[in-house]
């Protein structure tokens, strides 16, 4: 093996190592979301503490991966597709870290809901359904990222509208509840923060799906029609 072949092989190994780390970070973020939502539906506040501990790990992983990406760019000076891949890696870890922040927010709001001596506890059925959609989006986006399969991304991006509509329905429900019974105002505001966090998780999952299209197709599909996204994803 000559020097050029050895360098290329080492670079490929570094890229695969980064992708594996990002997927590990994604798995940790998925676990954070699941724990925070279980805490909300069961009142198990120990799960909230686990989510907040996990957030420190996610933040540390983001810093570590970011430093490695910067080092690879400085040493290898990649061009074209490889540079596109590393830029998408950078954006993906930013979105994953922000998803972790949203899970942490759900945990903090859940602690407030259950720590006060309240007459009523929240209805979580609608929130749970919305969160199932958002978490499903994240899982599919990470699957597309792992396989670098753009065909999996269109469904993720389309589901973002479903999450947005469910958020609006929950908002209307909470406003009605607060108007009918002022005693529910504090709890309703906390539930609103939780619903918004779940909606933002869907937004970040959509972003990750768009990065996969950018990696595979070299096309930036932000702010384009759903028809164009489907065309790019399936071409």
198-216 residue pLDDT tens:
999 999 999 999 999 999 9
For the entire predicted model, the pTM comes to: 0.91
pLDDT of residue 118: 60
Q: Which residue has the higher pLDDT, 8 or 165?
A: 165
Q: Which pLDDT belongs to residue 108? A: 95
pLDDT at position 227 is: 77
Residue-by-residue DSSP string for 79-118? -HHHHHHHHHHHHHHHHHHHHHHHHHHHHHHHHHHHHS--
Cα 104 to Cα 53, 128, 189, distances in angstroms:
9, 17, 17
Contact criterion met (CB below 8 Å) for 41 and 110: no
pLDDT at residue 12, as a whole number: 85
Whether pLDDT at 197 is above 50: yes
Which has the higher per-residue pLDDT, 232 or 155? 155
Average pLDDT over residues 101-122: 83
What pLDDT is attached to residue 117? 62
Range in 39-43, 65-69, 97-101, 119-123 the model is least confident about: 119-123
Predicted confidence at residue 6, as pLDDT, reads 47
112 pLDDT exceeds 80? yes
Instruction: Tell me what pLDDT residue 92 has.
Output: 97
Q: What is the CATH superfamily name and number for domain 3-234?
A: Phosphate transport system protein phou homolog 2; domain 2 (1.20.58.220)
- Domain regions of the chain by residue span: 3-234
pLDDT at 9 over 50: yes
């Amino acid at each position: 093996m000559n020097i050029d072949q050895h360098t290329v092989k080492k670079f490929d190994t570094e890229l695969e190592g980064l992708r594996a780390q990002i997927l590990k970070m994604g798995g940790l973020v998925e676990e954070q979301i699941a724990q925070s939502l279980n805490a909300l539906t069961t009142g198990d506040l120990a799960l909230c503490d686990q989510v907040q501990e996990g957030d420190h790990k996610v933040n540390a992983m983001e810093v570590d991966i970011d430093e490695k990406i910067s080092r690879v760019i400085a040493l290898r000076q990649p061009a074209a597709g490889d540079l596109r891949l590393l830029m998408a890696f950078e954006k993906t870890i930013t979105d994953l870290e922000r998803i972790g922040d949203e899970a942490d927010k759900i945990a903090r709001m859940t602690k407030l809901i259950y720590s006060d001596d309240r007459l009523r506890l929240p209805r979580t059925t609608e929130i749970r359904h919305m969160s199932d959609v958002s978490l499903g989006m994240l899982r599919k986006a990470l699957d597309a990222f792992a396989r670098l399969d753009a065909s999996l991304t269109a469904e993720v991006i389309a589901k973002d509208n479903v999450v947005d509509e469910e958020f609006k329905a929950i908002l209307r429900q909470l406003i009605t509840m607060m108007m009918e019974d002022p005693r529910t105002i504090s709890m309703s505001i906390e539930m609103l923060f939780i619903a918004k966090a779940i909606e933002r998780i869907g937004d970040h999952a959509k972003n990750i799906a768009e990065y996969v299209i950018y990696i595979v197709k070299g096309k930036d599909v932000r702010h384009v029609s759903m028809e164009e996204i489907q065309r790019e994803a399936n071409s």
